[in-house]
Structure 1
Amino acid sequence: MTHPLDLEQLAQHIKQWGQSLGFQQVGICDTDLSIEQPRLQAWLDEQYHGEMAWMARHGLLRARPAELLPGTLRVISVRMNYLPANAAFAKTLNNPQLGYVSRYALGRDYHKLLRQRLKKLAEQIQNYCGELNFRPFVDSAPIMERPLAAKAGIGWVGKHSLLLNREAGSWFFLGELLVDLPLPVDQPQTDTAEPQCGRCVACITICPTGAIVAPYIVDARRCISYLTIELEGSIPEALRPLIGNRIYGCDDCQLICPWNRFSTLTEEADFSPRAALHAPQLLDLFSWSEAEFLTITNGSAIRRIGYWRWLRNIAVALGNAPYQPDIVTALQQRIGQQALLDEHIHWALAQQMMRREQRAIFVQSPQQARLIRAVEKGLARDA
């Protein structure tokens, strides 16, 4: 660097560089999350993290980002939209014979894409400054990304615990870049211009499993995203019927949120839905061999749960579907392949037999009916 370092100017450059790299917003904050530590400890004390032992293992380190990179002075927080065109929310959720995949996972795994862009941003800063100590994060370390993003002015934490933005709703990924520069910080969004979440409890009411146990508090042990992605063992029987046809994650709390009327579609081609995952037939998915699963999910976030948990989730969805002889046959043909899968297959078969005997038809839960009505009215994007 041959010129004096103008930190105000550099902060503006960082935001311009970030946008040129595909981030819709870039904010800067300090590393102080002391206000979050009591909340985090109380959440852990309630065991709301379930089997995610790393959360308890790292403890309050998640609220101390400066300890992850000695010398860190600022966190550069970024967001990137991921909602694809033709998201087919209502089409998929309203048909119990189809499998619903959380919309963030329909395309390429976001971890690598965002991390690569953050590294490029760091390199541009480094070229400008001459020296820079940095570390990028995209769900890759114990860091409280949502409170940091809120401090950086990216949005505010909603009652469903996700980050909300007035101009973009919540359909976006977050990433962080820790740096050792004393950059000027941005101001958090406040309540003065808009009521933010106000008295709205739509996300709490719509949650199929009642996982949002209080405003801003999620019991992961009941969350469908946790049950279908993070949980390695058996899905509790009482929660299986509530999962419906959601085979990887859940978007209900986002779908019902009025702020998502302002969401913007992604411009990233990598986030476009893969055909095999976009409103797929459950029976087709259940017929995949392990080789097919690995091929189709190559470069996808879905691959991390592995083949057998993937089939476990689909077995539950098949158990929740209306009775079909083809479903019974498909389930029976999988018996004996793996113990965890067998447990869920036997449950699904019992559900199918019950429906056959009762001549039951698919009936939406009140929550599901409200969700579909909201989508069809345009409160949530279904472009």
Structure 2
Amino acid sequence: MTDLKQRLITEADAVGFVACRICKPDALPDLPDRLKDFITAGYHGQMGWMAERMRWRGNPAALWPEAKSVIMLAESYTPEYDPLDILNHPERGAISVYAQGRDYHDVVKKRLKRLARWLLDEAGKDEQVKVFVDTAPVPEKALGAAAGLGWQGKHTNLVSRDWGNWAFLGAIFTTLDLEADAAEVDHCGSCRACLDVCPTDAFPAPYRLDARRCISYLTIEHKGPVPENLRRQMGNRIYGCDDCLAVCPWNKFAVAARDMRLSSRPELTAPHLAELAQLDDAEFRALFSGSPIKRIGRDRFVRNVLYAIGNAGQSALAPVAAELTRDPDPTVAEAARWAVAQYVDQCR
């Protein structure tokens, strides 16, 4: 199998992945306890599916008992600009880098399937494979660390000395018994850059994330009104947050994205809040066709935009928010009233 593994790594590079490593499905014996602690603390917020699927997420071997190896792959989406610059332009919306291009689920999954087909052609018809990209209870980051792709940094994301932390992860489970790689060791040292930059103090401790305070969670997963005590810290971030990723020192080794479909669409790098706030459902769907942003729907997205308008401190945006105080969606209407109130307070 050693020869096949080396050819697999070569093929993964040719397909477009920046790294390919292998671990066993049972490589995470401590994960069930870590996940239980996370859920017990309530850090998962409204993501009830995490608690419901703990059996599989905490034990990859239970997801597909026939699997003997997990092939972990990384695909770079390193931005060509400083993603924190947009925070200096409060009249424009900050969209997470990964969401400015084509939906990574589609891009990475097609590449995984291509590699999986190659593997089956090489290994024989008796073997089987299953591919996963963030759509099943697969702990990609933990498996990536176990396989040696990198280590889970203090911000809980995977970090590599070879490509930084701007990467999508994918997994191929297979019945092939491939040689496992050694896990990577932690190279964070005494650095606290990712912890200290977080606007909402979402890290109760290094390597621990309270999703309920994370702006990525709040703008994407959280349903209904965002707690008022967190709205100010959201600034102009309207979909996701890149702060902890952007400040990681290991990004000095980041590699450029190979797939142009992952490149940022110009209209999403610094969109005007006033224009986004006025999107109706059809316009929202048209603008974000093929984007992961489409998944959260117009109402949740406009809610986020209104929080950003309330934080912008630009009086010209107040009438835009006022128009939405009568929006049919109660959460949007409440967000609009909150935004308007921020300008009323400024005038006192």
TM range (shorter): over 0.9
Alignment of 1:110-125 (within 5 A): 110-125=104-119
Residue 157 of structure 1 pairs with residue 148 of structure 2: no
Q: 1:175 aligns with which of 170, 175, 191?
A: 170
RMSD over aligned Cα atoms: 1.2
1:98 CA drift (Å):
1.0
Selected match of 1:327 from 311, 317, 323? 317
Q: Is the 8 Å Cα contact of residues 79 and 154 (structure 1) preserved in structure 2?
A: yes
TM-score by length of 1: 0.88
SS of alignment partner, residue 271 of structure 2: coil
Matched residue type, 1:157: Q
The CA distance in 1 between the partners of 2:69 and 2:59, in whole Å, is: 12
In structure 2, the partner of 1:284 is 275
**Preserved CA contact (<8 Å) 1:41 1:60:** no
- Name the counterpart of 1:210: 201
Contact persistence 2:91–2:314 (CA under 8 A): no
What amino acid does structure 2 have at the position aligned with 1:197? C
Per the TM alignment, residue 275 of structure 1 is displaced from its structure 2 partner at its CA by 2.0
Which residue of 131, 134, 139 maps to 1:139? 134
1:58-137 matches, within 5 Å, as 58-85=53-80, 87-131=81-125, 132-137=127-132
Say if 2:265 is the partner of 1:274.
yes
Q: Is residue 309 of structure 1 aligned with residue 300 of structure 2?
A: yes
CA contact (8 A) 1:211 1:220 kept: yes
Q: Name the SS of the counterpart of 1:213 in structure 2.
A: coil
CA distance in 1, matches of 2:173, 2:258: 26
> Aligned equivalents of 2:185 and 2:270: distance in 1?
39
Paired with 1:165 and 1:23, the residues of 2 have a C-alpha distance of 14
What is the CA deviation profile of residues 217-265 of structure 1, one whole-angstrom value per residue up to 9, with x for unaligned ones?
0000000000000011110000000000000000111112111122122
Q: Distance in 2 between matches of 1:323 and 1:295?
A: 28
Shift, 1:88, TM fit: 4.7
The SS at the match of 1:214 is coil
Alpha-carbon distance in structure 1 between the residues aligned to 2:18 and 2:84: 27
Kindly provide the amino acid, as one letter, of the partner of residue 113 in structure 1: V
8 Å contact 1:323–1:353 — kept in the other structure? no
Report if aligned partners of 2:84, 2:246 keep a CA contact under 8 Å in 1. Answer: no
TM-score, reference length from structure 2: 0.97
Which portions of structure 1, spanning 4 or more consecutive aligned residues, are displaced by more than 6 angstroms?
none
**Distance in structure 1 (CA, Å) of the matches to 2:272 and 2:211:** 28
Equivalent in the alignment of 1:11? 5
Matched residue, 2:214 = 223
CA distance in 1, matches of 2:84, 2:231: 21
Alpha-carbon distance, 1:97 to partner: 0.8
Q: CA deviation at 1:280?
A: 1.2
Distance in 2 (CA, whole Å) between partners of 1:267 and 1:120 is 16
- The percent of aligned pairs where both chains have the same amino acid is 41
Are residues 1:238 and 2:233 paired? no
SS of corresponding position for 1:26: strand
Quote the residue 2:249 is aligned against. 258
Matched position secondary structure for 2:74: strand
- For 1:35, the equivalent position in structure 2 comes to 30
Aligned residue type for 2:104: Y
C-alpha deviations, 1:311-357, integer Å up to 9, x for none?
00000000001131x31111111222221101111111111111233
Q: How many residues align?
A: 345
1:54 maps to 2:49: yes
Distance 1:282 1:261 in 2: 32
Structure 2 residues without counterparts, runs of 5 or longer: none
Match of 2:53, SS state, is: helix
Output the CA distance in 2 between the equivalents of 1:130 and 1:270. Answer: 32
Partner of 2:17: 23
Query: Matches of 1:285 and 1:225 in 2, distance apart?
Result: 19
Q: Which amino acid aligns with 2:90?
A: P
Q: Which amino acid aligns with 1:153?
A: G
Q: 1:103 to 1:169 in 2, by over 3 A?
A: same
SS, match of residue 64 in structure 2: coil
Other-structure match for 1:352: 343
Name the amino acid aligned to 1:183: L
Q: Does 1:336 align with 2:326?
A: yes
User: Secondary structure of the residue that 2:204 maps to in structure 1?
Assistant: strand
Q: CA deviation at 1:90?
A: 4.1
Query: Alignment partner of 2:92: what SS?
Result: coil
> Does the 8 Å CA contact 1:323/1:355 hold for their aligned counterparts?
no
Paired residue secondary structure (1:315) = helix
CA contact under 8 A between 2:216 and 2:240: conserved in structure 1?
yes
* Displacement after TM superposition at 1:268 (Å): 1.1
What secondary structure is seen at the aligned counterpart in 1 of 2:341?
helix
2: CA distance, partners of 1:88 / 1:158: 20
CA drift of 1:288 comes to 2.1
CA contact under 8 A between 1:158 and 1:164: conserved in structure 2? yes
